[in-house]
Structure 1
Amino acid sequence: MLNTYNYNELSQDALNQLTLRNTDPANTIQESVDHIIQSVRDRGDAALFDFTEQFDKVKLQKLYIEEDEIQALATSIGREQQRALEIAFNNIYKFHQNQLRKEKKIDTMQGVTCWREARPIERVGLYVPGGSAVLPSTFLMLGVPARIAGCREIVVCCPPQANGLINGYIAYCAYLLKIKRIYLIGGAQAIAAMAYGTATVPKVDKIFGPGNQFVTKAKTTVQATTNTAIDMPAGPSEVLIIADRTSNPVFVAADLLAQAEHGKDSQAILVTDSESIIKEVNQQLAKQIDILPRAEIARAAIANSYAILCNDLIDAMAFSNAYAPEHLILALDNWQSITNRIINAGSVFLGHLTPESAGDYASGTNHTLPTSAYAKAYAGVSVDSFIKKITFQHITSDGIKQLGPTVEILAELEGLQAHKNAVSVRLKG
């Protein structure tokens, strides 16, 4: 089922083509997104109502639900499901709480003290996908670090269900996160609303959350055209699994399909030094895919995926670093031998008993991660994503005497006399 390529027979051009994904060669996605963004800018709430009816097939009476409706929906789910969301919430909170640390003050020289202090981003927008699969886990992954960071205003957008509401699982997450309003908006129009603001939706300072290619394109577009930042370009999901003769083909196939069922444009890549593993995994894919409720989606994603046969695990890791996967699984007995070679990856899962699903839901790490090779430059969402670190400095009379002459010389060599004079008047005083 997976097309197989031999790593050592690939030219650089062929390698580049294999690692390229989510392109928009005809610019059709960009054109659609530009139209949606401009419509929201021009028509505000009216455009949001129209796009919701067009794309989500729901005619809304209002663009949001509030605390009483959220509470009613939250109590509609079973206690078992509530408990699972609570465990996930607690584990995510524990992992992320450790990321908020106070930095020490540093005396760079006598009388010169420098330090940084964290301040939360005031208004953040969280996009919770709700297309072919509604993802309460994403709500927790974004909401928990936002709460820990202390963001003053958290704006949440989630596409409505057919009944014009959100499902009970999203509502229960809102209850856990103390979110009192959810905007019933999805797609590129949600991103535009949070970036520009409308009569109903507040403008935010930074937008977070994964989505399809339209959402990703909208995020990168508004970042380039407004003063609203984004967490990262996080588009269709992907996994790369490095396997060898010690791997369990049943587990490997299950992990590939777990990623493939996200969407038809997802990718699930197998990289191995064993031809027999490729054969056995393909057999397992054929066996396991038929019983999936989202089998059609998974088949399309697998058709968009492939296997890479390498001489050894060193080459396997070289390919992985070139691909820069969102999720990297080392399905190996001796995974410790190659972890130091990992350069580009969003999140890493080690050994045979660490499925990527654990990180998606409840181990504690964040699942909002860079895709499409952006792991070469971006990290996943963390508490750091929701704060700014502001630098401070204080100079005493001894400090200005120590540092001042150096600053004077550097300002003079750059030809900035006023810079020099700002120090000189203090030295004279």
Structure 2
Amino acid sequence: MKRYTWSEANTDERQRILARPDQRASPEVVAFVRQLFAEVADEGEAALRRWSKKLDDYEPATLELSPTVLDSARASLASEDIEAIDFAIDQVRFYHEATKPKPQAIEPLPGVRVRQVWRPIATCGLYVPAGTAPLVSTLIMLAEPARVAGVRDRVITTAPGEGGAPHPAMIVAAATCGLDRLWLIGGAQAIAALALGVWTPRAQKIFGPGNAYVAEAKRQAAALPNGPAIDLPAGPSELMVIADRGANAAMVASDLLSQAEHDADAQVMLVSASDELLAEVEVELQRQLTGLPRESIARRSIEQARAIRVRSLVEAVGVANDYAPEHLSLQVATPGDLVDSIENAGAVFIGAYTAESFSDYVVGPSHVLPTDAAAKSYGGVSVASFMKSFTQQEVSAAGAQRLAGAAARLARLEGLEAHARAADIRFAPARPAEEAVRRRCGEIKRTTKETKIVARVDLDSVVPVSISTGVGFFDHMLEQVAHHGGFSLTLSCAGDLHIDAHHSIEDCAIAFGQALKGALSDRRGIARFGFVLPMDEAEAKLSIDLGGRPYLVFDGAFAAPAIGAYPTEMTKHVFRSLAENLGATIHLSVTGENDHHKTEACFKALGRALRSAIRVESADLPSTKGVI
């Protein structure tokens, strides 16, 4: 292993320490795959057979998993092998059934219903490399989540083994996963078949690892017009182990070798704050390497492996998040202290007994995981990978009243008038389309000897909110009402502030109430009632009835005479003026210690109660008497 000290490396050196092999396909591979795709697209099955014969010395064939074929395969395996296959499939099925996405339904507003639903992909292509050994686990990790997702057609392609047939374990696993045939074709030509629908069914999404030619074929397939989606960009296998001084060096070494034996380019990394542990693991690696069936491959990988000395486990987590490994093992005394800090990893293995090999075969989650730092933006293959989601949206006539104003406003901000009109026409569907749609707006211009006020309320928009009364704290309070009420409010006042703030505050409350009353018009369809109890250090209880009867019950007292230029005694006057000019019954009680917080709680409560009371629920008057 190559040893590095993280604290001594500068930024450029750290990038080199964590560098991976370049995964870009060579120009020769790109050109080769492009030619193969072109010939298969032009000539169809004949080209597919020609390429398979040329590259792999066999012609594509299908293998029906008949009872005879299955019995023969089972007879070729030890009973313990069959039990292990069954156990792995059960584990994978259990995990994916438990984590299968479920429909979600919400009602963000009365009359507005949104549902997220999930549907399976109709046809998926599952590429399982043959290699030097049967990758039974890859077949299980792809076929079983696809089955749980409900994929109708699972097309598994794999190259035949010796004698022109797949390994018996592949046959048994495929049949146990509910498949009835295998498509015996490998390499880039298998991807071309799946992508173009030549000989095999055409796949809507292609899954599975492979060599550089397969990876490039998947990339080119995804770039085709109406081409298939693909699962993940694939690269050499990766494992990073974070270990402390108490870690078992033999266990750490065994995990590192389990990845190193995959490929000479496998990325193997050990991160620790203990020089002793790093040294012990290097000794263990050499001891365990000797005699491995794939010793030469593993040894080449270990020669390029990295041992990184850090100052602390916190620094080790930083290295892991920078690297974003496919597999991350935490072999430390208290792994729970680190888990929540991990942001980038394909899968995390917590504690010394959580061998990465367990996850490869029998824990349950798929072992098809992002490599080459893709874990910074991708997750591993799961049952959701074989599904797609979309939304179902339903808006009632009452719901349209709540949405149309803001939608039309935003559409016009973007210069899309047809969008805006499509919203407007639903604002009052009972009226002819050519008529102007009535907005729930009210505007008041009020001039007295003391003040000159313009107030405008739009209950069907949230912008603008612009308040200028000359009393800063009161401006802030009215902004809170509009924000929490979910409506637009503009109000300007020129008043006799050189005398005091009383006239300006009271007259603004009168004008606001009159504008709000005008926006509500005959109050048809509104909820009418609102109640809210916001609670912090101060508690304000407010209930409101927009039934046309002005009445105020105010229970609260303020110790401070003023908050800035705002006299606290004016709070009761504001609510009385509002109740009288809006035509509302308001009951408000407020308690607390801080007069600023108490006053703000009153106005926030008003906004939240108004939000409930002004919402449109139907086309009817909110009264059993038929009149308000």
Q: TM-score with structure 2 length normalisation? A: 0.65
Alpha-carbon offset, residue 231 of structure 1: 1.1
2:526 is matched with none
2:4 is matched with 5
Alpha-carbon offset, residue 178 of structure 1: 1.5
The unaligned stretches of length 5 or more in structure 1 are: none
2:245 is matched with 245
Residues 187 and 25 (structure 1), Cα distance of their counterparts in 2 relative to 1, 3 Å cut: closer
1:98 is matched with 98
User: 1:223-302 to 2 correspondence within 5 Å?
Assistant: 223-226=222-225, 227-302=227-302
2:368 is matched with 368
Which letter maps to 1:244? D
- Contact persistence 2:237–2:266 (CA under 8 A): yes
Residues 176 and 114 (structure 1), Cα distance of their counterparts in 2 relative to 1, 3 Å cut: same
The DSSP-based 3-state class of the residue aligned with 1:426 is: coil
Which letter maps to 2:324? A
- Contact persistence 2:109–2:399 (CA under 8 A): yes
The unaligned stretches of length 5 or more in structure 2 are: 430-628
2:485 is matched with none
1:297-350 Cα offsets, whole Å, 9 max, x none, are 111222232211111111111111111111111111111111111111001111
Residues 146 and 398 (structure 1), Cα distance of their counterparts in 2 relative to 1, 3 Å cut: same
The DSSP-based 3-state class of the residue aligned with 2:164 is: coil
2:52 is matched with 52
| Worse-matched range after superposition: 31-40 or 93-102 | 31-40
1:325 is matched with 325
2:210 is matched with 211
User: 1:366-405 to 2 correspondence within 5 Å?
Assistant: 366-405=366-405
- Contact persistence 1:74–1:175 (CA under 8 A): no
Which letter maps to 1:112? V
1:67 is matched with 65
Alpha-carbon offset, residue 26 of structure 1: 5.0
Within 2, Cα distance between the matches of 1:27 and 1:242?
37
1:390-425 Cα offsets, whole Å, 9 max, x none, are 101101110111111111111112111111122222
Which letter maps to 1:74? A
The DSSP-based 3-state class of the residue aligned with 1:427 is: coil
The structure 1 segments of at least 4 consecutive aligned residues displaced by more than 4 Å after TM superposition are none
Is residue 119 from structure 1 mapped to residue 119 from structure 2 by the alignment?
Answer: yes
Is residue 148 from structure 1 mapped to residue 148 from structure 2 by the alignment?
Answer: yes
Within 2, Cα distance between the matches of 1:55 and 1:18?
37
Q: TM-score with structure 1 length normalisation? A: 0.94
Within 1, Cα distance between the matches of 2:83 and 2:173?
11
Residues 183 and 25 (structure 1), Cα distance of their counterparts in 2 relative to 1, 3 Å cut: closer
2:20 is matched with 21
Which letter maps to 2:9? L
Within 2, Cα distance between the matches of 1:38 and 1:111?
53
Within 1, Cα distance between the matches of 2:38 and 2:224?
11
Alpha-carbon offset, residue 33 of structure 1: 3.1
| Worse-matched range after superposition: 99-108 or 164-173 | 99-108
Within 1, Cα distance between the matches of 2:17 and 2:31?
26
Which letter maps to 2:280? E
Alpha-carbon offset, residue 17 of structure 1: 3.0
User: 1:308-319 to 2 correspondence within 5 Å?
Assistant: 308-319=308-319
Residues 225 and 12 (structure 1), Cα distance of their counterparts in 2 relative to 1, 3 Å cut: farther
Which letter maps to 1:316? A
Residues 53 and 15 (structure 1), Cα distance of their counterparts in 2 relative to 1, 3 Å cut: farther
Residues 264 and 39 (structure 1), Cα distance of their counterparts in 2 relative to 1, 3 Å cut: farther
Within 2, Cα distance between the matches of 1:401 and 1:43?
58
Residues 73 and 3 (structure 1), Cα distance of their counterparts in 2 relative to 1, 3 Å cut: farther
User: 1:172-211 to 2 correspondence within 5 Å?
Assistant: 172-198=172-198, 200-211=199-210
**RMSD over aligned Cα, in angstroms?**
1.8
Which letter maps to 2:73? A
Higher relative contact order (CA 8 A, sep 6+): 1
Residues 52 and 14 (structure 1), Cα distance of their counterparts in 2 relative to 1, 3 Å cut: farther
- Contact persistence 2:25–2:212 (CA under 8 A): no
Within 2, Cα distance between the matches of 1:213 and 1:369?
17
The DSSP-based 3-state class of the residue aligned with 1:126 is: strand
Within 1, Cα distance between the matches of 2:319 and 2:54?
42
The DSSP-based 3-state class of the residue aligned with 2:46 is: helix
1:337 is matched with 337
1:235-273 Cα offsets, whole Å, 9 max, x none, are 221111111211111111111110011112211111111
Q: Percentage identity across aligned positions?
A: 39
Within 2, Cα distance between the matches of 1:314 and 1:47?
56
In the alignment of these two chains, the number of paired residues is 425
The DSSP-based 3-state class of the residue aligned with 2:389 is: strand
Is residue 412 from structure 1 mapped to residue 415 from structure 2 by the alignment?
Answer: no
